[in-house]
Amino acid sequence: MFTLSLKALLTLAPFITFSSGAILEYRKNHGSGGSTSGSNGTCTSIPQFLSCENTTEITDTCCTPTPGGLVIQTQFWDTYTGMEKSGQLLPKNNWTIHGLWPDNCDGSFESYCDFERQFDERPSPSTVNGQTVPRYSGPKVDTFITAAGRDDLLAFMKKYWVSQGSSDASFWAHEYSKHGTCFSTFDTKCYSSDTQHEDLIDFFETVTKAWLKYPTYEWLAAADIVPSNSTTYKLSDMQDALKSKTGALPYLGCHNKVLSEVWYYSHSLGPVQNLDFHAVDTTTKTTCPESGIHYYERSSASEA
């Protein structure tokens, strides 16, 4: 599985900044040691080009994500989970992880790319390329993480990768099955060991570390954009606050003028697992209005 030391994370890319609370949680759960095992063992050298910017055909898909070379780190701003009674709460002063997606370079995307690694109980879409995506009814993916001895990773995911209206494990399974299996650098052929579910755990860890690169709450707060039940905000102010940190325009998603999502786009130098992302502008048009955007507070009962 893929594990980086905290020091390595801090030096991987020019735009890495971390939420203070999340980084403390990272230290608590992961420590500051090096990797615990190898990852993507077939990629022995880093390409000299970014994904989606190659001028010749990519032959080693374990070293460069292809065709899904447009890497998108996605986050939610939910104000409740609907699962509070079961202890499923949102992390205070943090946006939550949605996922890590491999869009094609033209902005299109594939889904459920490997039915043998399909762990989604309710696939959406239910068909891809004319084939029905089989429903999964086996053990939850969190049991795979526990079996691998990665309770540290599981604890971090439970805190920062939180679902709304369903169990966290079901959400994680959906994200891996729909998107993770479409990243070529997480193909099973890219791993030199026969460890069961190594690619899945590697994907989950990469997703959490990619999220750490984009502390949306702190970036917006630095521009005096904070959750409020009375104040509304301009789209341009939000875009400027985030672009000033990454150098590129992210996608901001709203529903009925309520801010709910942000997506950060990038090209990858080498395997996605390396987290060497180079920001590019969004290919998706915002669904937020120019002004009057609500960025609502959460209730204390929904946060931890």
Concerning whether 255 is annotated as a catalytic residue, the answer is no
Q: Is pLDDT above 70 for 5?
A: no
Q: What is the pLDDT of residue 7?
A: 36
Are 61 and 188 in contact, with CB atoms under 8 Å apart? Answer: no
Of 25, 30, 174, 179, the active-site residue reads: 179
**Residue-level length of the chain:** 304
**Top-confidence residue, 160 or 27:** 160
| Residues 3, 18: Cα–Cα separation, whole Å | 17
Q: Place 89 in a pLDDT band, splitting at 50, 70 and 90.
A: very high
When pLDDT is averaged across residues 77-97 and rounded to a whole number, the result is: 97
Q: What is the pLDDT of residue 21?
A: 61
Concerning whether 294 is annotated as a catalytic residue, the answer is no
Are 41 and 71 in contact, with CB atoms under 8 Å apart? Answer: no
Q: What is the pLDDT of residue 25?
A: 58
| Residues 227, 219: Cα–Cα separation, whole Å | 13
When pLDDT is averaged across residues 9-19 and rounded to a whole number, the result is: 41
Q: What is the pLDDT of residue 22?
A: 66
Contacts of 122 by beta carbon, 8 Å cutoff, 6+ apart: 135, 170, 174
Mean pLDDT of the chain: 90
Are 251 and 261 in contact, with CB atoms under 8 Å apart? Answer: yes
Q: What is the pLDDT of residue 19?
A: 57
Q: What is the pLDDT of residue 39?
A: 60
**Could you check whether the bond before residue 14 is cis, i.e. omega within 30 degrees of 0?**
no
Q: Where are the beta strands (DSSP E) in 137-195?
A: none
Q: Where are the beta strands (DSSP E) in the chain?
A: 70-76, 96-103, 127-128, 131-132, 232-233, 251-255, 258-268, 277-280, 293-294
> What would the two tokens of residue 142 be?
């969190």
Q: What is the pLDDT of residue 97?
A: 99
Of 175, 205, 218, 261, the active-site residue reads: 175
> What would the two tokens of residue 2 be?
């893929």
> What would the two tokens of residue 144 be?
């795979």
| Residues 187, 199: Cα–Cα separation, whole Å | 7
Q: What is the pLDDT of residue 23?
A: 56
Residue type, 290: E
Place of tokens 């801090």: 10
| Residues 221, 238: Cα–Cα separation, whole Å | 10
CA dihedral 43, 176, 105, 71 (to 10 degrees): -70
Concerning whether 179 is annotated as a catalytic residue, the answer is yes
Of 30, 98, 174, 278, the active-site residue reads: 98
Place of tokens 């984009």: 214
Q: What is the pLDDT of residue 143?
A: 98
Q: What is the pLDDT of residue 8?
A: 40
| Residues 262, 216: Cα–Cα separation, whole Å | 8
Contacts of 187 by beta carbon, 8 Å cutoff, 6+ apart: 61, 62, 114, 199
Q: Where are the beta strands (DSSP E) in 147-230?
A: none
Q: What digits encode the pLDDT tens for the residues 102-130?
A: 999 999 999 999 999 999 999 999 999 99
Q: Which domains does the chain have, with CATH numbers?
A: 6-302 (3.90.730.10)
Q: Place 241 in a pLDDT band, splitting at 50, 70 and 90.
A: very high
**Top-confidence residue, 213 or 30:** 213
